[in-house]
Amino acid sequence: MQRRGFLACSAAALLPTPSLSAASADRTFRILRDGDDIGTHILTAMTTSRGFEIEITIRIAVKFLGITAYRYEMDNREVWQGGQLVQLDSTVNDDGTTDFARIRRDGEKLMVEGSGYTGEVPTDAVTTTYYTKEFIKRRPWLSTQSGLPLSIEITPDGADAFRVTGQLETRLEYDDRGEWVSCQFDAGGEPARYEITDESGRIAELWASA
């Protein structure tokens, strides 16, 4: 199994428990690889006194003859205010290899400390969490696995769908509300896709209102 075969749709919980939210939304995807159910991607969003907060949890286990051949685990929390990233903390276990990203807004600067990059990035940067179609318009995209600013190109690929190429390869789909509903990508030579199994509220709408 290729170690980074599942990074295309990975996003990425280390902050204090937030104050009681005024509104919330959540979405659960199941992850299919060549038709086999191999894991889940869960987003839990809320508005709090700090703005828009979202927790993202990914758990993947690919089994072969009953034995886990590949494991991927991500825990990520982000805080946004007025459409701008304020804080991110993520940790990743990529089949035994540890990655991380820590991002903080400092006045007019956005500072990244990660396993793949450390330094300043534009304050208009977004993350590889995809939950609002507004991210399609913004650059750079920051890897929630390692903090790396990614070199990508995005082209329309059908109604409310977009093909991402470059340092990230995936196809993202949104509904007419701008909510993220699926992605497809190559996972170690096999086709993989996300399917929604449960959702409540509107995550993109919450992000836009904070």
Q: How confident is the model over 79-135, as pLDDT tens digits? A: 999 999 999 999 999 999 999 999 999 988 999 999 999 999 999 999 999 999 999
pLDDT of residue 7: 55
CB-facing half-sphere around the CA of 200: CA atoms within 13 A? 6
State which H helix or E strand residue 145 sits in: none
pLDDT of residue 166: 98
Q: CA-to-CA distance for 209 and 201, rounded, in angstroms?
A: 13
pLDDT of residue 6: 53
Name the pTM for this structure. Answer: 0.89
Residue type, 90: S
Among 59, 56, 24, residue whose Cα is nearest residue 43? 56
Whether pLDDT at 175 is above 90: yes
Rounded mean pLDDT, 12-25 = 53
pLDDT of residue 109: 93
pLDDT of residue 94: 97
Among 184, 187, 4, 191, residue whose Cα is nearest residue 94? 4
| C-alpha distances out from residue 83 to 7, 108, 146, Å | 25, 14, 22
